Amino acid sequence: MEKVTEAPEQGVIIKETVDGVAVSKPARTTRGSGGKDVAKPRPDPYIWGIYIMLLMVSVIELFSASSSEVSGSNVYMPLIRHAIFLVIGLGLVLALQNTHYGYFSRFAWFAALISLGLLIFSNFFGVEINGAQRAIRVAGFTIQPPEIVKLTVVVLLATILGRNQEPRGVSNKGIIWAALVVVIFGAFLWKNGLTNTILLFGVSLSMFLIGGMKWKKFFMVLGVYAICGGVLYMMKYTGDKSEDLDSVGKTEMVAQASGDGRVDTHKGRIQRFLDGVSPTDPINDENRQVIFAKIAQANGGVFGQGPGNSRESARLPLAFSDYIYSIIVEDTGFVGGVFLLALYLFLLARAGRIAYFCSRAFPAFLIMGCAVLIVFQALVHMAIVTGLFPVSGQPLPLISKGGTSIVVMSMAIGIMLSVSRFAVINGNKKQINAELKELPEDMQAANYSTQVTKND
């Protein structure tokens, strides 16, 4: 093992070789009891910077998009309610970044089963919001179990894949267990929304590829997902004819009143998506969101109307949640929309770099799973708003209004910061040994990317 240590004026940069991979990382130093400088890990500043910028966008644009909720005497009330959840989320980020990521694996199964119980409860006894029975009301607050399930499943998948990591990738046992978890949770998510189920499948497939799954096995798992999805689709079509709507407001209320089933709702959305809209089409409950979202984006032009100057927020249903990206484009233009997209993509890229240099498999899976969850959901939201995907309810992470979504996505950021702080990426032998002591013996498998680089 090679080791080169440089001591610049403001800190220590340690360059070493871990399993054949030379990496480096600046570290903050503190004075130890023996008078020597001791490296103190710190969270990734780039992830923190992206998180703070998303919070700033959230506060500004939520206020701009909430005109339909504002009353004359409580102009700032929507912003205050939103800010409370952002502060709660910030507190969770600070707490989780100081928690060693190894603890998350110890409670992964418990948290996942609790979230599954909440999801099942909401399916049968939940309260309806915008026509969808997917929320639980507790002490005046509503909890959205589907949002919780997505994060707990990511942590559980990272635990399963990390425990079953081999030098050549994830073992067959790990693949089977992970796919089984996704299918079970996806079956219960189906009733709460097709988009959430597709997101869960997409995130899991991404984590499989990150873990080095061979393409043959990848397509086998993809085929299993497709078969299970088809079975659920047929069961829903021939069995349950009750309607439960994604949070898309009035767009789907006509379908509910006519007694169409959930499958008919999906078919209607896809058909309307394929038919498209024209500026000459009369505005009705079925195309209201699509038309006003397109008008808002057209108003934005290249540089936008300026923050707070949105004209369509008063007419666009759910402008503060499912369609907030259209208001952001109206306020900041094409430039602002692309900048926000770049922020999410940079978050994914930064997570990928940290994961690549992690010495252990579990933290690599964990940080990439959280990043993929956040970015995939953001991309789906943007695709829906810009007309690339059919209409469905999906909040923009850390920006859209919604207490549960903000709290869950903040926890995902906190977990990413924990990995960036405590996962060893600088090759220091003492730090690697300290990291291993925090992990159970069956979670100490080496990172697949490190092994590939070593073999190369």
DSSP string, 61-86: HHHHHTTTT-BTTBTTHHHHHHHHHH
User: Do 416 and 370 contact (CB within 8 A), yes or no?
Assistant: yes
Task: Classify 360 as helix, strand or coil.
Answer: strand
Computed over every residue of the chain, the mean pLDDT equals 78
Residue type, 2: E
Digit-coded pLDDT (tens) for 187-234? 888 877 778 888 999 999 999 988 888 888 899 999 988 888 778 777
- Assess whether pLDDT exceeds 80 at residue 287: no
**Max Cα–Cα distance, the chain, nearest Å:** 78
- pLDDT computed for residue 4 by the predictor: 44
Structure tokens at 226: 């497709």
- pLDDT computed for residue 231 by the predictor: 80
Cα–Cα nearest to 286, from 319, 324, 256: 256
Local confidence band at 412 (pLDDT 50, 70, 90 cut-offs):
very high
Cα–Cα nearest to 105, from 149, 155, 151: 155
- Assess whether pLDDT exceeds 50 at residue 336: yes
User: Do 450 and 17 contact (CB within 8 A), yes or no?
Assistant: no
- Assess whether pLDDT exceeds 60 at residue 6: no
| CB neighbour list of residue 103: distance below 8 Å, 6 or more residues apart | none
CA distance 210 to 340: 25
Structure tokens at 163: 């425990």
Higher pLDDT, 4 or 344: 344
Residue type, 279: P
- Assess whether pLDDT exceeds 50 at residue 129: yes
Neighbours of 441 (CB within 10 A): 6
CA–chain centroid gap for 71, Å, is 32
The DSSP element (H or E) to which 36 belongs, if any, is none
CA distance 411 to 149: 13
Q: What are phi and psi of 251, to 5 degrees?
A: -55, -35
The percent of residues above 70 in pLDDT, for the chain, comes to 73
Averaged pLDDT, 243-252: 41
| CB neighbour list of residue 91: distance below 8 Å, 6 or more residues apart | none
* Residue carrying structure tokens 């923050």: 307
Residue 144's alpha-carbon distances to 154, 411, 413, in angstroms, are 17, 15, 19
Cα angle for residues 223, 148, 365 (degrees, 5° grid)? 60
Task: Classify 13 as helix, strand or coil.
Answer: strand
Residue type, 253: M
CA distance 69 to 155: 36
Cα–Cα nearest to 152, from 89, 195, 203, 217: 203
The DSSP element (H or E) to which 396 belongs, if any, is none
